[in-house]
Structures are given as structure tokens and as C-alpha cells.
Amino acid sequence: MPLPAISAHPLTRPSTGRAPRRLARPLARGLTLVELLLFVVVVGVAMAAVLRIFVQATVAGADPMLQRQALAIAESLLEEVQLQPFTFCDSEDEHVATAASAADCAGGADAAGPEAGESRGALPSFDHVNDYHGYSMSGIVDVTGTAVPGLAGYTASVTVAPAALHTIGAGSGDAVRITVTVTGPAGTSVSLDGYRSRHAPNASL
């Protein structure tokens, strides 16, 4: 009696005698010489731009410090001038405390510029706003004439001139504009203006 044929299991795939197919892997691709050269050029240009920014920042970083120093000098000198008496007469005049006009001064009105022998750093010293007109110094010194360390590279100058201020006319001489100009290293320059008024005969002593 013949044996019945054995059928293949439904979940079993019949063998074809061939090796199983494997998925192909993509081949690794490197940079060509042209691409490498382009990369070097692009990175070089970018680095040059970045370095230029750093250099400019370093150079400009000193400028604000010099500018602030010049501004501090100008502010200090301007305040010094504004705190001086602004009377009709010179402080040595016998009528300085009572003069209501230049005509009341024994020696006439205080003129622009210092009187003979007066200086900022020695006695007799400046004693009137007008005494500072035309004053200049190369290398900053204090009110005693002592050089201020670290400020030898700066110069300062002062001008004092009659000015109009609100209701005060320039021709009256009762108001002056004080201009302080300071120069320093690397072309640093600062100019400040301030005003001083004589609102009463003896109020500006």
C-alpha cells in the first residue's frame, strides 16, 4: 500500500537552494580635495572676520577710558572755576563787598585774565572767575600746582567770556560762559561749557 504524500508545512517556505539576499549598504563617501580646499578657504575667511572684530574691540576698548578721564578733568576744572567769586571788583579791592557796579570799584572792574603776579598753583592765587580766562596747562596739576599722577599726557585750557543767560544780556557783563577744553592721548578731546551769573552785587562772593 503506497504511503500518502507528505505536504509541506504551511508556514515553511520551500528551499530554492539559493543563499538569502542581503540588503546592500551604502558606500562611505569621503571629501574630495576640491571640497576640502573650499572648506579651508571658508573657515579661513570666517576666522579673519572674527579676529578683525576682536582687534577692533580691543583697540576701541581703551578709547572710552581715555574719554572718561578727559571728561573727569574737564568737569573738575569747570567746577573749580564756577566756585570762584564773581564780583564787580577784584577780591583785593577795598570796595569788593559793597560795590553795586563796576563804577564803585576803587581799581575798576575785574578784567578778563589774572592780575599781575596771580597764578593758579601759587600765591597770590586766582580769586575771581575772570582770572581763569586764557589759563592752560600741559600735564594736569591740582590747585596747589602739584602734578596729578598718570595725567601728564593731557592738556587743559579755559576761556571766560560775557554771555547772554535767560533774561541777562551779554552786554551787561552779569553772566559769563566758561569753556573748558581737555585733550589727551589717541586724539581724545572733550569740551564743556558752564555759566556763572552775578544776580546781586554781593551774592557772588
Beta bridge partners, 179, equal 159, 193
Which residues have CB under 8 Å from 199's CB, separation 6+? Answer: 174
Cβ(111)–Cβ(136) below 8 Å? no
- Residue at 92 is within a domain: yes
Of 96-110, 141-155, 167-181, the range with the lowest mean pLDDT is: 96-110
- Residue at 34 is within a domain: no
Tell me: pLDDT of 63 over 80. Answer: no
Tens digits of residue pLDDT in 11-49: 555 555 565 566 556 655 667 888 888 888 888 888 888
- Residue at 21 is within a domain: no
What pLDDT was estimated at residue 110?
87
d(CA 140, CA 143): 10
- Residue at 52 is within a domain: no
Neighbours of 75 (CB within 10 A): 15
- Residue at 162 is within a domain: yes
Tens digits of residue pLDDT in 108-124: 888 889 988 899 988 88
Tell me: pLDDT of 100 over 70. Answer: yes
- Residue at 205 is within a domain: no
- Residue at 181 is within a domain: yes
What pLDDT was estimated at residue 76?
97
Is-cis flag, bond preceding 26, omega within 30?
no
Domain count, the chain: 1
- Residue at 101 is within a domain: yes
Tens digits of residue pLDDT in 134-151: 999 999 999 999 999 999
Range of the domain at 98: 63-197
